[in-house]
Amino acid sequence: MPPPRTGRPPEPWAPQGERVNIIVCVKQVPDTEAPIRIKTDGSGIDETALNLVMNYYDEHATEAGLRLREQFGGSVTLLSVGHERAKEALRTGLAMGADEAILISDSAAEGVDHLGLARVLAEVIRSLPHDVVICGKISTDDNAGIVGPALAEYLNLPQATAIAHLEVDAMGTSAVVHREVEGGVEVLQVPFPAVLTVERSLNEPRYPSLPGIMKAKRKEIKTLNLAAARLTPSTVGAAASRTVLASLSTPPKRKAGRILDGDMDQAVAAIVAFLKDEAKVL
C-alpha cells in the first residue's frame, strides 16, 4: 500500500533566470570493493574499519543537480539520513560543488525502513525551498529502489525513475526524460517540481577539485534530529518499520569446478553421469 499523499500540491516551477532550489538525497554505503564482514549475531554488516563512501548512483544524482544549477542558476543542497560518519559522504558532494548539506541523525531512528526513511526526508524537504529533488536510482548496499518513489508520494510530486537521459526545457518548466525499459526506451515529459531518480549512465560525475575539497572541509553541515523534522520514533523508527531483517549471512562457498579429461565421448558420458547421479536433475 503506498504511503498517503500528505505534501503540498504541485506548483509551477521557477522560470529561467530565477533561483532554482535543487535537493539531492545521498546515502553513505560500504565501498563495493571493500571486504564485507557480517556481525557475529547476523544482525547486519560490521562497519568497524569498513571504508564507507557516497552511494555511486548518488554521485550521478549530485552531478545532475550541479548541471541544472549551471544551466539555470540557484543552489544544490545535499540531504542525508544516518550516523555522524555520513558527513563524509556529504563532504564528497560539497567538494564536487554542492552549496549546502544537511544530515538528519538521531539514535531514535535506528531500525528505520525504506518508507520511514522517505518520510524523514520528505518532512525535511517540505520545510526547505525545493523545485527539483534528485536521488540515485538505487543504493548499492540493498538495491531497494524504494526511497525515491515513496518520497514523491509523500511530497505529492510527479516522479520519473531510472532516468538515463535528462533534458530540461529552456523555460525550466518541465523535463523530457528517457528511461531504458526492456526492448526499448520510454520517453516521458515531467512537469516541475518533481522527484527524479537517475541511472549511472546519465552522466559522468566530476572529480572534486583541491580547492573544492578544502572548502568542503570548512563548510558547516547542519545536523537535525527527528524532533526538528516534527517526527517521532513511533512513526519512523523500528516500531514503525514494515520490514525486519531476520538475519544476514555470507553465501556458502562454492565447490571447486571439475575438469574432465579424455575425448568428447568420455566427457559427455561423465557429464550425464554427474547430472543423473550427483546433481539428481535427470
Q: Is the pLDDT assigned to residue 7 strictly greater than 60?
A: no
- Per the DSSP assignment, residues forming a β-bridge with 180 are 185
Q: For the chain, how are helix, strand and coil distributed in percent, rounded to 5?
A: 30, 25, 45
Please tell me the predicted confidence (pLDDT) of residue 234.
83
| Strands of the 174-181 sheet, one edge to the other | 184-191, 174-181, 159-168, 194-198, 132-136, 21-25, 75-81, 100-104, 222-224
Please give the mean pLDDT across all residues of the chain: 87
Comparing CA positions, the residue from 28, 121, 42, 118 lying closest to residue 77 is 121
Neighbours of 112 (CB within 10 A): 22
The least confident of 29-33, 35-39, 152-156 is 35-39
Please tell me the predicted confidence (pLDDT) of residue 17.
44
Q: Is the pLDDT assigned to residue 189 strictly greater than 90?
A: yes
Please tell me the predicted confidence (pLDDT) of residue 2.
40
Domain 21-240 falls in which CATH fold? Answer: Rossmann fold (3.40.50)
Q: Is the pLDDT assigned to residue 222 strictly greater than 90?
A: yes
Q: Name residues whose C-beta falls within 8 Å of residue 179's C-beta, 6 or more positions apart in sequence.
A: 160, 161, 162, 163, 164, 185, 186, 187, 188
Please tell me the predicted confidence (pLDDT) of residue 18.
55
Extents of the domains making up the chain: 21-240
Mean pLDDT, rounded, for 8-30:
68
Mean pLDDT, rounded, for 6-34:
69
Mean pLDDT, rounded, for 86-98:
96
